[in-house]
Structure 1
Amino acid sequence: MATPTELGQSRYMQVTATIRAIMQRIQQIWRGSSAASIEDDLFGEAGAAIADAVVEGQLSVADAAQAYIAAQMAAQGGAALAEATLVASAFAGIAPDGGPLETLLFLPAIGVRRRLAAGMSPEEAMIGGLADMARYASTSISDTARSADQVAMAAHPNCVAYMRVVRLPACARCIILAGQIYPHSEGFLRHPNCDCQTLPLRENEWPGVATPEQLIEGMSERERRRVFTVAGARALEAGADPGQVVNARRGMDVAHIYGRRLQVTHEGATRRAVYGRSRDRAGDRMDRFAGQRFGEATSMRYSRSRNVPRLLPEEIFRVAEGRDHELRLLRRYGYIV
């Protein structure tokens, strides 16, 4: 049987391999576009093909989450059987901030136009736009994998916590969090292009995971200066605490809804989606609204739940009072069945 560390490495490789495969497809699609027509291209067939590719990647990593967590629990001596089944489709089509994925994937067109206005050549502007697209696409897939892993953790009664695993190259904000253990329901701090991983735990102990000090020791002097700045690298060499050197981000922006700061999404809340269907059966009012495709309204053919916004998984973990409450909310919002 594979060890927990080996299982974590396999999950990491599965997610990164998925991202690489999707990025190869996106690059091929991008080559057929030009700076002069980029808005029309991303609003049309090219944009739809890119969005479909990213959704496919999201479905792939989400679908593998429950098997991964089950294998980890079995490797640690716990029961592999979960209390609920994860719904992979509930994680697809949603951007990391909870907005529509297609709107996020249209932003590179705006970036191309801004680069042209700044005097870049069309070739340079398109290279920059592709870099933007790669960042948005890869972050969306990575974030989906982490979110699905945490939901699968909640469905396993033996899983009590997770540890953050950081692999070089990494930024300073991630390095100082390496090896930290969090309750299974605590939100995962991340940034664009973050590929850090959650490793589920039965106990508050995980040997063999690199600490911030070990990661820093394994970096070259040039890499330490790039990540921590010259002054920060000098402070670390003098024995400074990495956590004091780096101003790590604590938390993310959220919306004010119902008098509370909640992270929500309207994605997946239509009558055709898992969550939307459940709310429709429950008798919620459904409002007609114009669909959004790459930031522009399409028609009024969609109906969406009016009374109950859809909470993101990390927000469910933040507000839930115990595991039973987590499972009820995850079921209510369509992430598990």
Structure 2
Amino acid sequence: MATPTELGRTRYTQVASVIRSVVQQVQVLWKGMSPTTVEDDLEGAAGAAIVAAVAQGQLTVADAAQAYIAAQMAAQGGTALAEATLVAAAFAGVAPDGGPLETLMFLPAIGVRRRLAAGMGADEAMLGGLADMARYASTAVADAARSADQVGMAANRSCVAYVRVVRLPACARCIILSGQMYRYSEGFLRHPNCDCQTLPLRENEWPNVPTPQQLFERMPQREQRRVFGVTGARAIGEGADVAQVVNARRGMSRPGASTTTEGVTRRGLYGRRMRRAGGGFASYPGQRYSRSTTPRLTPDAIFRQASGRGEQLELLRRYGYIV
């Protein structure tokens, strides 16, 4: 049987592979766009194809989450059986802030327009827009994977915590959080393009995860200086605490949105459930379909608000993340 560390590495590789595939698809689609028509392109077929590629990536990583949690719990001597089944589709089509993925994927067009207005050349402006698009797409898929993993942890009572796993190359902000352990329901600190992952734990014990100091020692000297700065790298090398050299929370955040508009139309995943339950719907200007008048909480909001695992599971069911 694979060890927890090996299982975590496999999960990381799977998510990273999906992200690479999505970014490659985005790059191909972006090359067919023009700086003079980028807004129309992203509102048209090219934009729809990009959103579809990212949403499919989110669906793929979310679909593998529950099997990953089950394997981790079994490897640690717990039960692989969960109390509920994760709904992978609930994590697709949603931006990290809980808004529609379409809105996030349009932002690079605004970036291109701003670069052009600042006097940047067309090729350079489009290159910057592609970098924005790749960052947004990568973050959306990675966040979907982490969110699905966390819901999977909640659905399995064997899981009580998770530890943050950082893999090199990594930034200073992530390195100093390596090996930190959190309750299974505590939000994951991340920044755009963050590829750190959760390693679920059955018991409150440290797995074989490198400490910040160990990660620093594994880095080539040039990489140490790039990540921590020349003076910071020198200070750490002379014995300074890594966490004291770096501000732990600079640029880091937890997914903070309380509600999401994804799936709230009559045809949406959550909307269909509300319709069966007799919930109300209303039409809004510019919207093709009426939307549920009952806001849909995000998983992160549920974990923040619920008083215990029982209430978490109840709310996760109510809002369509598990069945």
What TM bracket, shorter-length normalisation?
over 0.9
Partner of 1:310: 296
Please report how far the alpha carbon of residue 91 of structure 1 lies from its aligned counterpart in structure 2 after TM superposition.
0.6
CA distance, structure 1, for counterparts of residue 221 and residue 298 of structure 2: 40
RMSD: 1.5
Q: Is structure 2 residue 264 aligned with structure 1 residue 269?
A: yes
Q: CA deviation at 1:110?
A: 0.9
> Offset at 1:304?
1.3
- Distance (whole Å) between structure 1 residues aligned to residue 232 and residue 276 of structure 2: 56
CA distance in 1, matches of 2:40, 2:237: 52
What TM-score, normalized to structure 2?
Answer: 0.95
Question: Structure 1, residues 269-313: CA drift from partner, whole Å, max 9, x if none?
Answer: 2221222222222232211124xxxxxxxx44311121x321111
Q: How far apart in 1 are the matches of 2:160 and 2:142?
A: 22
One-letter amino acid of the structure 1 residue matched with residue 73 of structure 2: M
Which 10-residue stretch deviates more, 25-34 or 223-232? Answer: 223-232
Question: 2:172 aligns to what?
Answer: 172
Aligned to 1:289, what secondary structure does the other structure show? Answer: coil
Tell me the distance in 2 between the aligned counterparts of 1:324 and 1:152.
14
2:277 corresponds to: 282
Aligned partner letter, 2:288: R
Residues 78 and 158 of structure 2 are in contact (CA less than 8 Å); yes or no, is this contact kept in structure 1? yes
Report deviation, 1:132: 0.5
Quick one: distance in 1 between partners of 2:4 and 2:86?
21
Whole-Å separation in 2 of the counterparts to 1:35 and 1:313: 37
Question: Structure 2: where are the runs of 5+ without partners?
Answer: none
Structure 2 residue aligned with 1:324: 310
1:109 paired residue number: 109
1:191 aligns to 2:191 (yes or no): yes
Q: Does 1:301 align with 2:296?
A: no
Map 1:66-85 → 2, pairs under 5 A: 66-85=66-85
Determine the structure 2 residue equivalent to 1:44.
Answer: 44
* 1:4-26, Cα deviation, whole Å (9 max, x unpaired): 11111111111011111111111
For residues 300 and 312 of structure 1, the distance between their equivalents in structure 2, rounded to whole angstroms, comes to: 21
Structure 2 counterparts to residues 237-276 of structure 1, below 5 A: 237-249=237-249, 251-252=253-254, 254=256, 263-276=258-271
Q: Which moved more, 1:129-138 or 1:216-225?
A: 216-225
The offset of 1:251, in angstroms, is 4.4
Aligned to 2:25: 25
Residues paired across the two proteins, number: 321
Is the contact between residue 96 and residue 255 of structure 2 (CA under 8 Å) also seen in structure 1? no
Q: What is the TM-score with the length of structure 1 in the denominator?
A: 0.92
- C-alpha distance in structure 1 between counterparts of 2:243 and 2:271, whole Å: 43
Amino acid at match of 2:192: P
Q: Which residue of 2 aligns with 1:156?
A: 156
What is the CA deviation profile of residues 26-77 of structure 1, one whole-angstrom value per residue up to 9, with x for unaligned ones?
1111111111111111110000000000000000000000111111111111
Q: Distance in 2 between matches of 1:112 and 1:251?
A: 26
Task: Percent identity, please.
Answer: 70
What is the CA–CA distance in structure 1 between the aligned matches of 2:59 and 2:22, rounded to whole Å?
12
Most deviating of 308-317 and 235-244: 235-244
Give distance in 2, aligned partners of 1:276 and 1:232.
52
Q: Given the superposition, is the C-alpha separation of residues 269 and 133 from structure 1 closer, same or farther in structure 2, using an over 3 Å criterion?
A: same
2:179 corresponds to which letter in structure 1?
A: G
Q: What amino acid is the match of 2:78?
A: G
* 1:13 corresponding residue in structure 2: 13
Question: How far has the Cα of 1:253 moved from its partner?
Answer: 7.5
- Report if the CA contact (8 A) 2:187-2:254 is conserved: no
Structure 2 CA distance, aligned partners of 1:314 and 1:99? 14
CA distance in 1, matches of 2:132, 2:288: 31
Moved more, 76-85 or 220-229: 220-229
Question: Post-superposition shift, 1:321?
Answer: 1.1
Q: Does structure 1 conserve the Cα–Cα contact (< 8 Å) formed by 2:255 and 2:300?
A: no
* Structure 1 residues 190-220: Cα deviation after superposition (integer angstroms, max 9, x where no partner): 0100000001110112332111110111112
Runs of 4+ in 1 over 3 A off after TM superposition: 250-255
One-letter identity of the residue aligned with 2:298: L
Distance in structure 1 (CA, Å) of the matches to 2:58 and 2:191: 17
SS of alignment partner, residue 302 of structure 1: coil
Gaps of 5+ in 1: 256-262, 291-298
Q: Matched residues in 1 for 2:244 and 2:21: separation?
A: 38
